[in-house]
Amino acid sequence: MAGEIQNVVQDPIIRVRDITVQFGTTRVLDGLNLDVERGEILGFVGPSGAGKSVLTRTIIGLVPKVAGSIEVFGVDLDSSSTSQRRNVERRWGVLFQQGALFSSLTVRQNIQFPMREYLRVSQRLMDEITMAKLAMVGLKPEVAERFPSELSGGMIKRVALARALSLDPDLVFLDEPTSGLDPIGAGDFDELVRTLQRTLGLTVFMVTHDLDSLYTACDRIAVLGNGKIIAAGSIADMQASQHPWLRQYFHGKRARAVMG
Amino acid sequence: MSGDPKLERIAQGNALALCATGTWTASFAPVLERIVADAEKLAGGSQSIFIDVSEIAKLDTFGAWLIERLRRSLTQGAVEAQIAGLSANYSSLVDEVRRVRANAVVDRSPITITGMLEQIGRAVAGVAATVAGLVDMLGAVLAAGARTLIHPRSFRLTSTVHHMEQVCWRAVPIVVLITFLIGCIIAQQGIFHFRRFGADLFVVDMLGVLVLREIGVLLVAIMVAGRSGSAYTAELGSMKMREEIDALRTMGFDPIEVLVLPRMLALVLALPILAFLGAMAALYGGGLVAWLYGGVQPEAFLLRLRDAISIDHFIVGIVKAPVMAAVIGIVACVEGLAVQGSAESLGQHTTSSVVKGIFFVIVMDGVFAIFFAAIGM
């Protein structure tokens, strides 16, 4: 399939090969292949319930797979030792769909949590870096002492992103980062991801439904369907595709509105 | 070029160049912090300082911030400090960090005597608030009950039956087992001590009165507070956290009527049943031990039991059960609805639901003891 060939890149940061994931008898992912290039923002789309979050969670190691292999930073996660795996985990950050902030810790403690675990640095430096991260994600310093229950939905996403970035990872997974945000907030978030990718040299794996994000933030788009990647490429490739779901997705009423 | 980070000093007349090399990233943050602190001290005396970063192999937020921190502290010391040799890749990162306000570090409030006194004051005031909350909930439940009596169709039978299964039927094995064992222990201890006076048979009197009047219902109430009170608090608390209770309210439902009333009713019905089963199990256990350990024949045990206790003892015990159930239920629901947004708050309120539930059960038991003594039962 043409999509499969485009999908393979040189020196990938994530290399997923023949992944199969099954819940009971339902096969969610069926021999899926995917490469993510270093430094790119990959937008990952597909119909609801197609298994986008499942693939993300499989790569991170939260969902067990039946078959296949996953390499992140060139380390095979199945055959890696505990210390190798910890090393990989230190170099990625994850933004969960609902934020998954620790509800009993303040924003500052949430952002400092990974630093406290992995780095032996002074409280002063942690506080300063926390403020830097908050500024990077566009939040005011006052937010630092609030608890997650006192934050709005958009702020939760931003704090969760700040926590995902707290160790300066090379790779971040974003699971529907703009869902539940107003269009302006979502636009700002896309811009933010772009800026961070440029300043920190991040690789971003972004599951999204937001057409605006695909147009403005993503370098490359991969489409999931029937447990496989049915297409991967630039936004122009997507628009040119003859696949029925893609045609509907990229030529529907909403897509036309986005394209203007 | 990569490797351990370093900051070399190169003096050039009046000016000083600090040449940064190596990897300035989070992994080396502890080393970097030390290097920067040293550089801040050593740099005095020069009028202008260049921080040359062109030889840095890798830079991230930690490295960029530490260089910025160095620049700021040098500038404060009336030295002209400049960052030079910034590559295009990293300039945006350094610009980003430059916008950060550093003095945002918050002091943690220290522990003081006034602070501790304030906490004690708040805790005392909290007792009054707790009682007010319980009375409030009692009123709300009674009002909801009255509304349900007027409009019986709004009564949630399915929910009540479901909670009956949870708090009554599923609690039977553990309640029966524990009361059985307690009955055994009371009988064994009684026989062991009464034997010295040759008063073995009086153990039946003690067992009967103790189990029917006090132990049976009190023990079961404590178990129910631990088992079902905590479950109610956790259920309502997590519903509160996920805004499910707000959702109910906006759809025009009264959470008290939908959530609290069926739970309360289930508990009020369940506790007398459990107390009765518990009392029977305790008597059975006591009888068994009296027979096997004390040599009291079952016929003699039953005969003696019939003489020793009257229906009054049983009534005194069982009358307390629904009241204790109501107390447990109200405490659990008040605590559940008081849960705030965090997991910690859910844990605190579940704990306090069980603690307060057991406390009020024992207080009620004391009130009943005075009452029954006054009316001569």
A120 contacts B62? CB cut-off 8 A: no
How confident is the model at residue A29, as a pLDDT?
84
A2 touches chain B (CB under 8 A): no
- With bands split at pLDDT 50, 70 and 90, how would you rate the model's confidence at B363? very high
So what's the pLDDT on residue B88?
74
Can you spell out the DSSP letters for B166-207?
HHTGGGHHHHHHHHHHHHHHHHHHHHHHHGGGT-TTHHHHHH
Q: What is the mean pLDDT of chain A?
A: 82
Are the C-beta atoms of A172 and A164 separated by less than 8 Å? yes
| CA of B163 vs chain A CAs: smallest distance (Å) | 29
From the candidates A118, A127, A200, which should be mutated to test the interface with B, based on the most B CB atoms within 10 A?
Answer: A200
Interface contact flag, A124 B105, Cβ < 8 Å: yes
pLDDT score at B44: 62
B85 versus B292: which is more confidently predicted? Answer: B292
Q: Is residue B260 classed exposed, middle or buried when 0-12, 13-18 and 19+ CB atoms within 10 A define those classes?
A: buried
Residues 6+ apart with CB under 8 A from B282: B179, B180, B182, B183, B186, B207, B211, B215, B216
d(C-alpha B158, C-alpha B91), whole Å = 66
Between CA A255 and CA A252 the distance in angstroms is: 5
Tell if the CB–CB gap between A103 and B60 is shorter than 8 Å: no
pLDDT (0 to 100) of residue A5 = 41
Residue in chain B nearest A90 by alpha carbon = B27
For A119, the closest of B26, B61, B344 (CB atoms) is: B26
Structure tokens at B211: 């189990």
What residues of chain B lie within 8 A of the CB of A131, using their CB?
A: 100-102, 104-105
Predicted pLDDT at B1: 42
- A108 or A227, greater pLDDT: A108
Instruction: For an interface test with A, give the residue of B60, B69, B99 to mutate (most A CBs within 10 A).
Output: B60
Q: Is A128 exposed, middle or buried (0-12, 13-18, 19+ CB in 10 A)?
A: buried
pLDDT tens readout for residues B287-314: 999 999 988 899 999 999 999 898 989 9
| Residue A240 or B365, more confident | B365
pLDDT, mean over chain B:
87
B11 in contact with A, Cβ within 8 Å: no
Question: Which helix (H) or strand (E) is B22 found in, with range?
Answer: strand B15-24
| Touching A: B residues 69-108, CB under 8 Å | 69, 89, 92-93, 96-97, 99-102, 104-106
The pLDDT tens digits of the residues spanning A161-212 come to 888 888 888 888 988 888 777 778 788 788 878 877 887 778 889 888 878 8
- B 137-196 residues inside an 8 A Cβ radius of A: none
Beginning with the edge strand found earlier in the chain, give each strand of the sheet holding A67-72 in spatial order: A26-37, A12-23, A67-72, A75-76
What is the percent of chain B with per-residue pLDDT over 70, rounded to a whole number?
95
Residue B249 confidence (pLDDT) above 70: yes
> How does B353-375 read in b/e, with b if 16+ C-beta sit within 10 Å?
bbebbbebbeebbeebeeebeee
pLDDT of residue A26: 84
- pTM score > 0.80 for this model? no
B215-233 pLDDT per residue, tens: 889 999 999 999 999 999 9
pLDDT band at B107 (very low <50, low <70, confident <90, very high): low
In this predicted model, which residue has the larger pLDDT, B43 or B110? Answer: B110
Retrieve residue B173's tokens. 């094995």
Cβ-based contacts under 8 A for chains A and B: 84
- Residue B352 confidence class, pLDDT cut points 50, 70, 90: very high
The H or E element spanning position B355 is: helix B343-375
Closest CA to A217 of A41, A45, A39: A41
Instruction: Say if residues B361 and B221 touch (Cβ distance below 8 Å).
Output: yes
Instruction: Identify the top-confidence range among A177-181, B51-55, B69-73, B268-272.
Output: B268-272
pLDDT band at B356 (very low <50, low <70, confident <90, very high): very high
Amino acid at B174: I
Flag whether residue B30 sits within 8 Å of chain A, measured between CB atoms.
yes
Interface membership of A144 toward B (CB under 8 Å): yes
Cα(B201)–Cα(B191) distance, integer angstroms = 8
Stretch B68-81: mean pLDDT: 77
pLDDT class of B278 with cuts at 50, 70, 90: very high
Does A242 reach chain B within 8 Å, measured CB to CB?
Answer: no
Widest distance between CA atoms in chain B: 112
Task: Supply the pLDDT for residue B333.
Answer: 95
Q: Is B49 helix (H, G, I), strand (E, B) or coil?
A: strand
Residues A21-39: tens digit of each pLDDT: 888 888 888 888 888 888 8
Nearest Cα neighbor of A177 from A93, A77, A91 is A93
Residue A1 binned pLDDT confidence (cut-offs 50, 70, 90): very low
Q: Dihedral sign, CA of B372, B373, B376, B377?
A: positive
Confidence of residue A260 (pLDDT cuts 50, 70, 90): low
Using an 8 Å CB-CB cutoff, list chain A residues near B27: 119
How many Å lie between the alpha carbon of A152 and the closest alpha carbon of chain B?
12
A100 part of contact set with chain B, CB < 8 Å: no
Q: Which residue of A has its CA nearest to B31?
A: A121
**For the sheet containing A220-225, what is the strand order?**
A92-95, A171-175, A203-207, A41-45, A220-225, A228-233
Residue reference for tokens 């300039």: B91
Q: Please answer yes or no on whether A128 and B29 come within 8 Å at the CB atom.
A: no
d(CA B176, CA B282): 8
Residue A119 to residue B29, Cβ atoms within 8 A? yes
Best of A129, A143, A149, A170 to disrupt the B interface (most B CBs within 10 Å) is A129
Confidence of residue B200 (pLDDT cuts 50, 70, 90): confident
Can you give the pLDDT at residue A2?
40
A131 touches chain B (CB under 8 A): yes
Q: Chain A within 8 Å of B65 (Cβ-Cβ)?
A: yes
- The pLDDT of residue B108 is above 70: no
Q: Is the pLDDT of residue A129 over 90?
A: no
pLDDT at B269 over 90: yes
Tokens 């974003």 locate to A174
CA B138 to chain centre: 23
| Averaged pLDDT for residues B66-71 | 82
Binning pLDDT at 50, 70 and 90, where does residue B190 land?
A: very high
- In three-state form (DSSP H/G/I as H, E/B as E, the rest C), the secondary structure along chain A is CHHHHHCCCCCEEEEEEEEEEEECCEEEEEEEEEEEECCCEEEEECCCCCCHHHHHHHHHCCCCCCEEEEEECCEECCCCCHHHHHHHHHCEEEECCCCCCCCCCCHHHHHHHHHHHHCCCCHHHHHHHHHHHHHHCCCCHHHHHCCHHHCCHHHHHHHHHHHHCCCCCCEEEEECCCCCCCHHHHHHHHHHHHHHHHHHCCEEEEECCCHHHHHHCCCEEEEEECCEEEEEECHHHHHHCCCHHHHHHHHCHHHHHHHC
Tokens of A134: 């908050």
